[in-house]
Amino acid sequence: MSTVYVGNVKKYMKQTLALNGVSTSFDGKVIDGIVGPDGAGKTTLIRLLSSLLTPNEGEIIYDIDGKKLTPAQAKTHLAYFPQEPSLYPDLSCMEHMQFFGALYALDGAEFKKRSEELFEATNLSPFKDRKAAQLSGGMYKKLGLMCVLLNNPRVLLLDEPTIGVDPVSRKELWELLYRYSALGVNVIMSTSYMDEVVRCGKVHVLNEGALITAAPPSEIMAKYKLQKFEDIFLRKTDER
C-alpha cells in the first residue's frame, strides 16, 4: 500500500501564492481527483507530488510499505503524466516502449510481459508500428500513459490527462485508470472537467490555491446542497 500525506503546503510561483496551506491525503484505495477551475493550483500540487517542485512551507510525505519518504526519495516508485506527454513523432509505438524499457533497465522477459499487457489494455496492439505523429489525440495520450506505466509504478500522478481528448478516448482512458487502481496503483489525477468528478472515489477541491474540501463527491454534494458540482466554487465566492 502507498499513502501520500500533504501537510500545510505553501508554494509561491514568483510573487504569486499558488498553494496556500494545503493539507490532505491520498490513500490509494480509490482514484483521487484534484479538481478546480483554471488557476486553482492543480498543476502546482501535482508537480509538488512528483518532486518537480518543492514546497516553500509544509511537507509532503510518501508512506510506501511502511517507509516514510520525501517525493524525491520516492521518485523510483512514481510515474508522472503531464498534460502534454512529450513523445518522439518519428518513433513508432513499439519503439517508444523499447526506449522506455531501456530507460527503466527492464530485462527482456520483463519488458515483453509488461509491454504486451499494456498494448492489450490500451487496445493499441494493432498499431505497434504506427508513428506517434500519426496517432489520434486519444491514442497519443494512451501511448504516453503506457510509457510511464511500463515501470510498474506504485503511484501514478496525472495532470489533466483527458484534456483535449474526444469523449470515446476519455472513456477508454478512464477504464485504463480504473484497471490500474484496482491492481493497487495509487492513482492521483487533476481535472478541470466537472463531469469527471463523479468518476473519482474522492475529490480534493481547490480554488485560488486553497483546499475547500476533500471527500467522496456524493458527500460534498450533500454537505454543500449542490445541484451541480461546479456550484461549489460559486458558493465559496459568495461566502467571501
Instruction: Say if 117 falls within a structural domain.
Output: no
Beta strands 2-13 and 57-64 are antiparallel
Segments of the chain assigned E as strands: 2-13, 16-26, 32-35, 57-64, 67-69, 78-81, 155-159, 186-191, 202-207, 210-215
CATH number of the domain that residue 174 is part of: 3.40.50.300
The residue segments making up the domain with residue 48 are 2-84+154-239
Instruction: Say if 52 falls within a structural domain.
Output: yes
Instruction: Say if 141 falls within a structural domain.
Output: no
Q: List alpha helices for 50-160, DSSP H.
A: 93-103, 108-122, 137-149
Write the pLDDT tens digit of every residue in 34-93: 999 989 999 999 999 999 999 999 999 999 999 999 999 999 999 999 988 889 999 999
Write the pLDDT tens digit of every residue in 101-159: 999 999 999 999 999 999 998 999 999 999 999 999 889 999 999 999 999 999 999 99
Number of structural domains (the chain) is: 1
Nearest in space to 206 (alpha carbons), one of 184, 191, 221: 191
Instruction: Say if 25 falls within a structural domain.
Output: yes
Write the pLDDT tens digit of every residue in 150-188: 999 999 999 999 988 888 888 889 999 999 999 999 999
Instruction: Say if 143 falls within a structural domain.
Output: no
Instruction: Say if 133 falls within a structural domain.
Output: no
Instruction: Say if 139 falls within a structural domain.
Output: no
Instruction: Say if 120 falls within a structural domain.
Output: no
